[in-house]
Amino acid sequence: MAELNRRDFLKLGGVAAGALAVDLGLPRRRAQAAADVRRVPTLCEMCTSRCGVFAVLENGRVTRIEGNPDHPTNLGRPCARGNAGASALYDPDRLKEPMKRGEDGKLYPITWEQAFEEIGTKLNQIRNLHGPEALVFAEYNNLNSALTKRFTESFGSPNHVGHAANCFANRNVGYSAVFGALPSVDYANVKFYLSPGRNLLGGIKVSEVAALARAKANGARIVVLDPRHSELAGWGEWIPIKSAGDLAFLLAVANVLITENLYNKEWIDTHANGFDQLKEGILQYTPEWQEQHTDIPAEKVRQLAREMAAAAPAAVVDPGWHGGNGMYWNGYEAARAGAIVNALLGNLGAKGGLKLSPKVAQGTIDDVPEGAVVDSGGGG
């Protein structure tokens, strides 16, 4: 039997959905007319992008997800993962009640009362024996995280661990150390896009993919540093790099920008502190030095640095998710080096460069009107 890859599967899914629409379109529309159909604006929770969607309910049951064209993140386009959200809601294996492991190692349902009673008793024992800091609340960050953080703090522990510690904390801290905050990329207008390890087409953020596709259509140069040939590498030039070599590569790019006087002097003079120390410290990180850490020829680094300078300020090193191509011991420094290259290109605030989002004023829990109900869904 022929092997079916993911792309074929998605294509087949599209064909099957199309065929169904042709065959069943009329009866379905008639059925819909009779059904009580509601479109509820909400956010997709299938990944952290939290695209704006409508949950379409027919007789109280979610039958499909539609994109919300007014939402700035996805502009009306949910991805395949988001479209699958409705099936996750009604998955027979979805946990809908507390479970407790029995002596035979299997999980059995218990009542909420029993769960609260047992968890509360154990938490009190831990606090009495070891102090409140012994509690670590670990979870994937979600829309309930404000409540779990509040719970952890009320218990007396500062130890709330979420997605960031296992994913993007290096990047956030590295970029914040240089710029004071985490910038994002003006993908739509970029002219030279360097991605150290980010695979935008594999870990999709719909709005960013659409924006980079526009830049590509306008002739943007896309360069991907990655040990493997990712989907995004197919959009431009793939430069295979040794794992954890991003720091060395980015330092060497900074070396070329500074020693060949290609950096944005005006931007640096106006905004940067500590440039003289950087200039002195970067001398040792030559394109030749980086070769041993990256397997990338020195001349290639020089060529890329010059191209980036020529395209600046619409030239950008993508902070990505990790600041470099993975979760390595030098990830924080790789993120900082990427931020420094961006600063040397003077792209912060420029069209096609990095941008800082305006702050949105947030309310407090005291602003929630009395009697408001927070409905976290349910289903099943």
Residues that bind ligand SF4 (CB under 6 A): 44, 46-47, 49-51, 74, 78-79, 81-82, 204-206
Residues 6+ apart with CB under 8 A from 245: 290, 293, 294, 295, 296, 325
Contacts of residue 102, Cβ cutoff 8 Å, sequence gap at least 6? 108
Q: How far is the CB of 218 from ligand SF4 (least distance, A)?
A: 23
Residue 297 CB, shortest distance to ligand SF4, in Å, is 37
In this structure, the strands spanning 99-101 and 107-109 are antiparallel
| Residue 209, number of CB atoms within 10 A of its CB | 18
C-alpha 155/C-alpha 134 separation (Å) is 10
Distance in Å, CB of 344 to ligand SF4, minimum? 32
Identity of the residue, 82 or 174, whose beta carbon is nearer to ligand SF4 in the bound complex? 82
Q: Compare residues 49 and 264 and give the one whose CB is closer to ligand SF4.
A: 49
Residue whose beta carbon is closest to ligand SF4:
82
Residue 46 Cβ vs ligand SF4, minimum distance, rounded to whole Å: 4
Q: How far apart are CA 173 and CA 182, in angstroms?
A: 8
Q: How far is the CB of 82 from ligand SF4 (least distance, A)?
A: 2
| Shorter beta-carbon distance to ligand SF4: residue 47 or 268 | 47
Nearer to ligand SF4, 173 or 210 (CB): 210
Nearer to ligand SF4, 82 or 346 (CB): 82
Compute the least distance from the CB of residue 223 to ligand SF4, in Å.
Answer: 24
Q: How far apart (Å, rounded) are the C-alpha atoms in residues 239 and 229?
A: 9
Q: Looking at the DSSP assignment, which residues form a beta bridge with residue 99?
A: 109
| Smallest gap from residue 141 Cβ to ligand SF4 (A) | 13
Q: Which residues of 16-34 are buried (b: 16+ CB within 10 A; e: fewer)?
A: eeeeeeeeeeeeeeeeeee
- The rounded distance, in Å, linking the Cα atoms of 24 and 19 is 8
Residue closer to ligand SF4 (CB basis): 232 or 248: 232
Residue corresponding to tokens 């003077």: 346
| CA dihedral sign of residues 321, 324, 327, 330 | negative
Query: Which of 68, 172 has the CB closer to ligand SF4?
Result: 68
